[in-house]
Amino acid sequence: MASLHPAQWHGLGRHGAIAPGYQADLLLLPDLERFVPDVVLKRGRPIEHVPSAPVPDWVRQTVRIRPVGPGDFAIPWTGGDARVIGLIPDQVVTESLVREPATRGGLAVADPARDLAKIAVVERHLATGRIGHGFVTGSGLQRGALASTVAHDAHNLVVVGMSDEEMAFAVAHLATIGGGIVAVEGERVLAECPLPVAGLLSDAPLDVVIAQSRSCNEAAGALGWSGATPFLTIAFLALSVIPALKITDRGLVDVDRFELVSLEAS
């Protein structure tokens, strides 16, 4: 069902089946509990050595943004309610909520007491300077900022934070290291996992990447994050085809209506 039918549909006559003369990549598993393969076959032959693949320069340093500062994440506000992305535990779908944001000096600001964090999406491919702004609730974040260049499907730069200064610092840091995920507090990097290959992949050894990823999740927890896996959650907040309210570099998206909507809830 998963391999033979697609191969037949696309006319790939020597793919999709386990049979003489077919090409097959297989994992031979001793059981279905641990999912640790005994043998890995590539084109029907055991894998004995995996050569390193060179990464061309053009696929590095792909975080192309205009320089950002705290003012780029400020949200002028004259009062009233705002549309807010509501996280649902262990789900990639969200709620479309309405909340009145806290204000300070004519700006809408994050409010940890009410579990209301700011979120922004920065266009990172063409340095257009385009930034979408919003609020998210349900994360538990109390301070600091989390940012990621892994953000389905456009993979722009997403940042969630409790202050404009920390959000700007996190975004600038990811641009410097060529992408990845990062947790910051003040002007200090608590943990990071650099992903210099297109801002999506690491070229470090597996054990290093695992350690870096775990450190980022632990740092997010120390900042108050209490929801599901933080950076996986953040990655899906920019996926504007899954209900109900998502955010892109062009602003909030009402997925049920398939249209951009303003932050102000009129």
For 207-232, how does the pLDDT look when each residue is reduced to its tens digit (9 = 90+)? 999 999 999 999 999 999 998 899 99
Q: Chain centroid to CA 89: how far?
A: 16
pLDDT tens-digit readout, 3-43: 999 999 999 989 999 888 898 888 999 998 988 899 998 88
Q: What is the pTM of this model?
A: 0.87
Query: Exposed, middle or buried: residue 203 (CB in 10 Å: 0-12, 13-18, 19+)?
Result: middle
Q: Which residue has the tokens 């930034």?
A: 131
CA distance 62 to 108: 31
| Segments making up each domain of the chain, as ranges | 1-49, 70-261
DSSP sequence for 68-99? --GGGG-EE--SS-EEEEEE-TT-S-EEEEEE
Angle of helix 206-222 versus helix 230-237 axis, rounded to 10: 80
Q: Chain centroid to CA 229: how far?
A: 11
Residue 45 β-bridge partners:
42
**Type of residue at 46:** P
Distance between terminal CA atoms of the chain?
48
pLDDT score at 13: 87
Half-sphere exposure of 60 (CA within 13 A, CB side): 10
pLDDT along the chain (266 residues), means of 10: 92 90 90 89 84 87 96 96 96 96 97 98 98 98 98 96 98 97 98 97 95 98 94 96 97 97 94
CA distance 80 to 84: 13
Q: Give me Rg for the CA atoms of the chain.
A: 21
